[in-house]
A and B are shown apart, each in its own frame.
Chain A
């Protein structure tokens, strides 16, 4: 990395602040649409952190897969299921919040303690591969990680078929058991219109 160290520090500070504040916004904001767009910002900043770590290929993959595919998929899902509804109140919500927050804070303090107290055996930056990392990833994928690479392709195929099977509607015109015509109307349409603005 040929950037000056102060520039690296400034970039790291800005990116990590965006990551943490954006993640807090994702879990805390009331509107789910704002959460989805903030999630895109978090993914972009994580890609920036990867660039600081000399990993241009993984940063590009992060932007392509997370921002380009996962985030767009989440926004589409929000458009399909975004019905304003009054949630039923839970009676012991306060104790749940207290317990889960204390568990998360305890875990965070433990993790930070491990991060700070452990002595990491850092390797010298002289033999760093630097900008050649894409070539090295390709070598790994086609030699010692060949089996996981092939299994990942099978996994993606299974996920694609599974998502199609799970999300499609039943399009047969007759019910198999009774022989009666199937009600082809959209469930959402028959119950309540989508995207009603109640408040």
Chain B
């Protein structure tokens, strides 16, 4: 058993790195547009874990990382609302959620 007085910061960073990479994989490989939005939420959560770990271990008196996390949560909520609204209007025009069929802006 390791003789530590707290969880090492590297543990939090590795969890957030793994979560971020899973999010990128889902973003690249999903066919369903809703799943793409979920992957973006996973990536934002990974960034939030990173900010919170640094705020708690490196800046534990001023905790500016927690303030940034609040702002990221705000932006994520706005992004989810607008993204799902775009998805709904796309679904009305195309009657599908397949990412491969969304080529409206293709050159």
- Interface residue count on the B side (C-beta < 8 Å): 78
* A interface residues with partner B (beta carbon < 8 Å): 1, 5, 8-9, 12, 16, 19-20, 23-24, 26-27, 32, 35-36, 39, 42-43, 46, 49-50, 52-55, 57-58, 61-62, 65-66, 69-70, 73-74, 76-78, 80-81, 83, 85, 87-88, 90, 96-97, 100-101, 103-105, 107-108, 111-112, 115-116, 120-123, 125, 127-129, 133, 136-137, 140-141, 145, 148, 152, 155-156, 158-160, 162-164, 166-167, 169, 187-188, 191-192
B29 to chain A, nearest CB (A): 6
- A8: nearest chain-B partner, CB-CB: B7
CA distance A28 to B70 in the complex (A): 29
Q: Which of A73, A128, A140, A169 contacts B84 (CB 8 A)?
A: A73
A-chain residues with CB within 8 Å of residue B60 when the two chains form the complex: 54, 123, 125, 127-129
Give chain B's interface residues, CB within 8 Å of chain A: 4-7, 9-15, 17-26, 28-35, 37-39, 41-42, 45, 48-49, 52-53, 55-64, 66-67, 69-71, 73-82, 84-89, 91-92, 95-98, 100-101
- Taking a contact as CB atoms closer than 8 A, the residue among B31, B77, B95 that contacts A156 in the complex is B77
CB pair B6 A5 closer than 8 Å: yes
- Measured in the bound complex, the distance between the Cα atoms of B70 and A134 in whole Å is 12
Nearest B-chain residue to A148, judged by Cβ: B71
Q: How far is the CB of A22 from chain B (nearest CB, A)?
A: 9
Residue of B nearest to A49 (CB): B49
Jot down 28 A-B pairs with beta carbons below 8 A, ordered by A. Answer: A16-B11, A19-B19, A23-B22, A27-B35, A27-B38, A27-B42, A39-B42, A53-B12, A54-B60, A58-B66, A58-B73, A66-B73, A70-B41, A70-B77, A83-B96, A85-B96, A96-B29, A97-B29, A105-B21, A108-B18, A123-B61, A128-B61, A133-B63, A133-B66, A141-B67, A152-B71, A160-B81, A187-B95
